[in-house]
Amino acid sequence: MSTLKLLSWNVNGIRAIEKKGFSDWLDKEKPDIVALQETKIDAVQLTREVREKRHYKSFFSHAEKKGYSGVAIYTRIEPKNVTEGLGIERFDREGRVLAADYGDFLLFNIYFPNGKASPERLQYKLDFYAAFYDKARELMSHGKKLIVTGDFNTAHRPIDLARPKENENVSGFLPNEREWLDKYIDAGFEDTFRVFNSQPQNYTWWHLVTNARARNVGWRIDYFLASQSLNKKLHNATIEPHVIGSDHCPVSLFLKL
């Protein structure tokens, strides 16, 4: 039985994180699979330095809008196939989804929308949650084992942010956003970090302008959700706040396969 190491990180710009030592971090951590969100790069900007990493094959999904959104997967293990999007044009034009089929599980790397900009963007976010929920339910009904990782842009419960009371009316902790995470759990997903750690003050995002990271005034909005059918395979899940370079930090999942 081998241990599979998966990492996920909203890098807030892959070219920026490359200049801050991303390749060195990758060489040090040696994950089997790493999923990145908010890469902010298009096909024209995708240099060989970014695309080619020793021992890894890479896959990218780009937004139509330059310098916006985007996701990537670097993998040591050859997936059976990799697909982009949810099959819904209004979502897929923002380059938010990559799905890699590894046989034992289907990995979704998703950069869920942020709803803070306007009521329209909040509705877009909720519609995106609903669209992925339907897709996940369908796949699971056909026996697929799913791992869903990325920036969900929502703190699920009061334990998942430093100041829940002050943020009750802020997108990212609204009741109707949090209800979607409840629905994912009720549909058969496990919040893998909470399987291994029930402690507060574990966050994955901190506001840059207010220097919130130094005071650990943060939010846990980056997750690995896994089908409950994978429960016996779960070995560990962590948050890596010591890794600097983005306003988010990496999260991990270890599987015994």
What are the C-alpha distances in Å from 81 to residues 70, 125, 130, 139, 170? 19, 27, 25, 16, 38
DSSP secondary structure string, 59-72? EEE--SSTTS--EE
**40: nearest Cα among 16, 57, 56:** 16
Beta bridge partners of 137: none
Q: How many CB atoms lie within 10 A of CB 257?
A: 14
Q: How many CB atoms lie within 10 A of CB 165?
A: 8
DSSP β-ladder status, 251-256 and 3-10: antiparallel
Q: Which two tokens stand for residue 17?
A: 């994180």
Catalytic residue among 92, 134, 151, 186: 151
Burial of 177 (0-12, 13-18, 19+ CB in 10 A): buried
C-alpha 156/C-alpha 172 separation (Å) is: 9
Q: Which two tokens stand for residue 159?
A: 């334990």
The answer to whether the beta carbons of residues 62 and 95 sit under 8 Å apart is yes
Beta bridge partners of 4: 255
151 is catalytic: yes
Beta bridge partners of 253: 6, 237
Known catalytic residues?
Answer: 151
